[in-house]
Structure formats: C-alpha cells, structure tokens
A and B are shown apart, each in its own frame.
Chain A
Amino acid sequence: EAGVAQSPRYKIIEKRQSVAFWCNPISGHATLYWYQQILGQGPKLLIQFQNNGVVDDSQLPKDRFSAERLKGVDSTLKIQPAKLEDSAVYLCASSFRGVRTGEAFFGQGTRLTVV
C-alpha cells in the first residue's frame, strides 16, 4: 500500500515570497491533516479536512496560509507571503475515518526554510 506522498521534500525561499506544498493521501482515506512542526516542538495541527470539507482550521494563520482539498483527494497548502517564523517541517497525514480508533499515517514532510 502506497503511503502519504508529499512534495517537495525541501524548499528554501526568501521572506515575503510565496510557496505551495502538495499532499497525496492514502487512497480511500477521508480525513486529511496538515501539521506544522517547528524545530524542537511537537507537530501542531493547521487544518483538518473530512473529504473536501474543513473540520478544523482554528490554528491556521488565515491572513497568510490557505489550504484546499479539491475532490476530496489531493491537498495543497500555500503560504503567501512567507515570514521567517514559518520555517518548519510541514507534515501531511491521512486516516480512514478519523483517529479515535484508527491510525493517522504521516508523510515524510516538507522542510521549509525562510531566509
């Protein structure tokens, strides 16, 4: 079974530039998550989709971050404009029907460096 695919693996941009990350979840997984992991911290949920609807985006900085999940499959996360504090690993995860009894599967992440 293919895992969660993310691209790119690494990205370096200058502050105030824009960047986009892509995630392809495991086939059939209805729930998709984007997490931000700053160095030395645990992952923090940015946004959670159930199919193509947003379940939770309470910690997404909506003035600069946006995410979409068209057709309930792939998802993109965009930052525009980027700030230095956005330097982090952005993790995508998916689960079949939510994580209370199941498991979330994580991609390898995209490491963003803003200079």
Chain B
Amino acid sequence: AQSVTQLDSHVSVSEGTPVLLRCNYSSSYSPSLFWYVQHPNKGLQLLLKYTSAATLVKGINGFEAEFKKSETSFHLTKPSAHMSDAAEYFCVVTQNYGGATNKLIFGTGTLLAVQP
C-alpha cells in the first residue's frame, strides 16, 4: 500500500530564510506525488505535482520539490519564506486502482510558521 510520512509536524522559519518541508513516500510502483497547501478557513490548494516527468518540479508561489527515487523522498523547498506562506502543507501520494481512477493518500501535515 502507498503511504507518505511527513517528518516534521511543525516548522518555524524567519521571513526571507529558506523553507524545507520533508516528505518520504512508500509505493510499490512509480507514484504520482503532490504537495497541497491549506490556509486557515480555506480549501486545499495544489502547490505542485510529480507525475514521472522531470524530477525537479516547480510549483506556485516559488515552491519546488525534487523527486528522489533512491531516497524515496519528495521534499518541498522555497528559497525565501514570505509571511503569506504560513499555512499547513500536506504531502500526498496516489494509490492506483488499476484504471483511470486513483485516490489521494495524505500525510499528517506540516504546519509552517513564518516569523517576522
């Protein structure tokens, strides 16, 4: 079965410093991986996705993630944090039913705090 492990439940950075949110996955086949962001009282929004194309994936708001098969990792990074980045971030893997449909399996989330 597919699963993801988010290694940090809380991360705190200062504005303007780099962000690193860590995610490891477990999958019996080549997975699709996603990062979603959830701001308070708002819906989940897709940041970026990896679907077996380029291993370095660029997303919205300056975020990017690198798929490393040898390390089974898909860490999310951003060179310089902004106050508006404060939110909860979820690493997500798909589970394949064998057809066109799949389901999203969420990690437990990382709450990012950005200090002024």
Contacts and interface: CB of A to CB of B under 8 A. Distances in A.
Interface residue tally on B, bucketed by range: 20 to 34
Interface in B12-53: 32, 34, 36, 41-46, 49, 51
Interface in B49-86: 49, 51
Given A42-B90, A42-B108, A100-B32, A55 B101 contact: yes
B106 A106 contact: no
B4 to A, nearest CB: 9
A66 B90 CA distance: 27
Contacts of B103: 33, 45, 48, 55-56, 99
Interface residues of A, number: 28
B49 A42 contact: no
Contacts of B94: 99-100
Contacts of A107: 43
Nearest to B109: A42
Given A41-B109, A42-B108, A56-B97, A101 B42 contact: no
B73 to A, nearest CB: 18
A25 interface: no
Contact of A48 (B42, B43, B90, B101): B101
Most buried by B among A31, A100, A101, A104: A100
Given A100-B51, A100-B96, A109-B43, A44 B101 contact: no
B102 interface: yes
Interface of A: 3-4, 31, 33, 35, 40-45, 48, 50, 55-56, 91, 93, 97-101, 103-104, 106-109
